[in-house]
Amino acid sequence: MAKFSTPQLLITAVSAFAGGVLFAWLSSPRSGPDNRRWISDSTSDLKNKVKESGKGLKTKNFPDLYEATEDLGLTEEDLLPGNR
């Protein structure tokens, strides 16, 4: 059996997937405008899902500084210069 490199395997997999999508799209019972509308709606939904999950990851991984420093136990007097 021939050994394939990772780039060759990746290109083959992506090409096979794209070919399958193209075949399914061309052989679907919907008309061209219906297919284009479906693709537009699907990509818009996907874009919104990715954007929302990105916002969720951002708020999850970057805490609010007021919440993060709330438990330090410092008073305003501790933060004034010269009170060390």
What confidence score (pLDDT) does residue 18 get?
Answer: 93
Domain extent for 36: 31-72
Residue 25 falls within a domain, yes or no?
no
Residue 24 falls within a domain, yes or no?
no
Query: Contacts by 19-26 with C-beta closer than 8 Å and gap 24+?
Result: none
Residues 6+ apart with CB under 8 A from 73: none
What confidence score (pLDDT) does residue 12 get?
Answer: 93
Strands, E assignment, the chain: none
Number of folded domains in the chain?
1
CB-hemisphere CA count at 13 Å for 14?
6
* pLDDT tens string 20-79: 988 888 888 888 888 888 888 888 888 989 998 888 877 777 767 777 677 777 777 877
Residue 47 falls within a domain, yes or no?
yes
Determine the Cα–Cα distance for residues 64 and 43; give it in Å rounded to an integer. Answer: 32
